[in-house]
Structure 1
Amino acid sequence: MRVLVAGATGAMGRQLVPRLTGAGHEVFAMTRNESSKARLSELGAVPIVADALDRGQAEAAVLEANPDVIVHQLTAIGHVDTRHFDRSFAATDRLRIEGTDNLLAAGRVAGVRRFVAQSNGAFTYARTGGPVKTEEDPLDPSPIRQMAPMIAAIGHLERAVLGADWTEGIVLRYGAFYGPGTSMEPGSEQLEMIRKGRFPVVGEGGGVWSFIHIADAAEATVAAIENGACGVYNIVDDDPAPVTEWLPELARKLGAKKPMRVPRFVGRLAAGEAGVVLMTELRGASNAKAKRELGWRPAHPSWRQGLHVS
């Protein structure tokens, strides 16, 4: 198939492009930067320089590639400051709203038959009910102020993709990434904070996290491109875990002391309200549907074995 990957130079794109070319697909890699063309060519893709926030450029890129499938992996997430969560995700929110609309409009003109888009299943589910959610469960209907723009952007993306009746719209709700190129790769700032004892458990630490190795997420994405049906899939590992489990275990792997516990009000002062929500109220996600319908299994079934710190 001819596949256009938008966001080809990000952590996911760098894993996805070589897997697609290795599987025999003709891959077109969309990037904003001329400087990325050589690297994308080395991965076996045809680079196309375009800004997804410019509708004309997006349409020209899609028409040039003439793809069977568009894969929307556009993000702009750098350092996440949980005290200013909305600011940290502002650029990505724009890509998930304007970028999604532009790619869909271009895809409709080009007659794209499948549209696969990155969503988030790590931080977006409603913070009520049981600890593990399925694709049938709603996104958080009443998020805190700092997280509301991010969840609204995710909601826009999902409605737009699933509502595009001229194509097969597929939404992949990825868990929290770890592995090469992510915020939890060896030597990352986040792991160093844990190593130095600067990442405490807040409150009861009952927030449930679902992780996924970036390579497993890329494999699931290939499966969705090749075999997915219209709908939503949680792309997470088999082991959703509360903060009280994963944070001490990660500290142990790093050779650090067991993380201290602080009350919610102290966590709020240090990490903001979003930081408290991430530590105390998150819900995890089930991967049963992706396993059943995509024929996919994570090679790293648990973060306990997959998350390497050195």
Structure 2
Amino acid sequence: MRIVVIGGTGHVGTYLVPRLVAAGHEVAVLSRSQRSPYRPHGAWDKVPIVKVDREASEKSGKFGSVVAKLEPDVVIDMICFTEESASQLVDAVAGQVQHFLHCGTIWVHGSSEVVPTTEDAPRRPFGGYGRGKAAVERYLLDQARRHDFPATVIHPGHISGPGWVPINPAGNLDLGVFQALIDGKEVALPNLGMETLQHVHASDVADTFLAALNNRSVAVGESFHSVAGGALTLRGYAEAVSGWFGRDPNLTYLPWKEWSQAVPAEDAAATWDHIAHSPHCSMEKARRLLGFTPKFTALETLYESVTALVTAGKLTPR
């Protein structure tokens, strides 16, 4: 099949595109060409990369036609954030594509209630990102059920892997938290450190998309989580990182108001987003319908991510 991957040079596309090529598909990637894939692979020599600024192209009403002119059998959209953006693309490729796969987020659920959260749980998103992604999901699944548009939605957790900084045990992107744990220094966590994060290896997200593509008959009209099995508490995550470097964890705990005033506002905002969601999502639906289970646990994913940062010289073991 001819597959167009929109945003295919990012975290997930780095793994997904070579696997699509290896499976015998003809693949084209749409990208702003502002980054290269995180991992080199010979398959990229066979993949044309069409340079396009999606936002600018959508403003002129031309983005859908750019995709449609590539005559795809399948579209995999990794970078759609609004219903308007989704509808412009759907209008352009409806009746042409056999399968349309969209990358969502587990944040469509909002704060966790009964855990593990299943895909049929009520949507109570908050924040612009979660609300926007929930609107896209609602629109695409409505198009599938009312108009036979062949849409599938994949909802990843905190995508992680070698080449970029994962969400740390304090719920933000401050590399200093990892370095302090490596050094055995005191690290303060908000509240009691019992809120949760749910990472997922980018490789497993890629394989979730492949599983949905290979099981089209049960995937169309459905959404699926893509997370590592189980969620990590902030405390458990921090203790694991300390242990990787032969340290005993040196953790303290502060009430949210006090903790948030002790860190930069940007870090506090990121942490609040993560702990307010405290996700813990189920992978049972993907196992049951797609035959897919993630290969990496959360800690395996994070160990690979952190050791890659050490190798890159961004973290220094003592």
TM over 0.5: yes
Q: Which residue of 1 aligns with 2:102?
A: 117
Instruction: Give the whole-Å Cα distance in 1 for the aligned partners of 2:43 and 2:25.
Output: 14
- 1:103 has 2:99 as partner: no
- 1:139 has 2:123 as partner: yes
Superposition TM-score, scaled by structure 2 size = 0.78
Unaligned 5+ segments in structure 1 are 76-94
Unaligned 5+ segments in structure 2 are 308-318
Mapping of 1:65-76 within 5 angstroms?
Answer: 65-74=70-79
Query: Do the aligned partners of residues 244 and 51 (structure 1) sit closer, same or farther apart at CA in structure 2, a change above 3 Å counting?
Result: same
Q: Deviations over 1:237-271 (max 9, x none)?
A: 11222222223212332455433322111233234
Query: Do the aligned partners of residues 175 and 223 (structure 1) sit closer, same or farther apart at CA in structure 2, a change above 3 Å counting?
Result: same
Instruction: Give the whole-Å Cα distance in 2 for the aligned partners of 1:163 and 1:191.
Output: 41
Q: Which residue of 1 aligns with 2:315?
A: none
Q: Which residue of 2 aligns with 1:91?
A: none
Counterpart code for 2:117: K
- 1:304 has 2:299 as partner: yes
Q: Deviations over 1:75-129 (max 9, x none)?
A: 7xxxxxxxxxxxxxxxxxxx44443233222222x621211111111x4423253
Instruction: Give the whole-Å Cα distance in 1 for the aligned partners of 2:200 and 2:222.
Output: 20
Bigger Rg, which one: 2
Q: Which residue of 1 aligns with 2:161?
A: 179
Q: Which residue of 1 aligns with 2:133?
A: 154
Q: Deviations over 1:122-166 (max 9, x none)?
A: x4423253232000112335x3xxxx2112111121112112224
Cα RMSD of the aligned pairs, angstroms, is 3.0
Query: Do the aligned partners of residues 192 and 222 (structure 1) sit closer, same or farther apart at CA in structure 2, a change above 3 Å counting?
Result: farther
Q: Which residue of 1 aligns with 2:223?
A: 232
Instruction: Give the whole-Å Cα distance in 2 for the aligned partners of 1:128 and 1:303.
Output: 18
Mapping of 1:192-231 within 5 angstroms?
Answer: 192-197=176-181, 200-227=188-215, 228-231=219-222
Identity of aligned residues (%): 22
Contact 2:151 2:222 in 1 (8 A): yes
Q: Which residue of 2 aligns with 1:263?
A: 255
Query: Do the aligned partners of residues 267 and 290 (structure 1) sit closer, same or farther apart at CA in structure 2, a change above 3 Å counting?
Result: same
Q: CA deviation at 1:290?
A: 0.6
Q: Which residue of 2 aligns with 1:32?
A: 32
Q: Which residue of 2 aligns with 1:81?
A: none
Contact 2:189 2:253 in 1 (8 A): yes
Instruction: Give the whole-Å Cα distance in 1 for the aligned partners of 2:211 and 2:227.
Output: 14
Q: CA deviation at 1:173?
A: 0.7
Query: Do the aligned partners of residues 35 and 128 (structure 1) sit closer, same or farther apart at CA in structure 2, a change above 3 Å counting?
Result: closer
Give the SS at the match of 1:222.
Answer: helix
Q: Pick the aligned partner of 2:281 from 259, 266, 285.
A: 285
Q: Which residue of 1 aligns with 2:110?
A: 126
Give the SS at the match of 1:138.
Answer: coil
Instruction: Give the whole-Å Cα distance in 2 for the aligned partners of 1:267 and 1:124.
Output: 27
Query: Do the aligned partners of residues 218 and 34 (structure 1) sit closer, same or farther apart at CA in structure 2, a change above 3 Å counting?
Result: closer
How many residue pairs were aligned?
A: 282
Q: CA deviation at 1:298?
A: 1.4
Q: CA deviation at 1:192?
A: 4.3
Q: CA deviation at 1:19?
A: 0.7
Q: Which residue of 2 aligns with 1:88?
A: none
Instruction: Give the whole-Å Cα distance in 2 for the aligned partners of 1:33 and 1:131.
Output: 39
Superposition TM-score, scaled by structure 1 size = 0.80
Counterpart code for 1:111: Q
Shifted more, 260-269 versus 5-14: the winner is 260-269
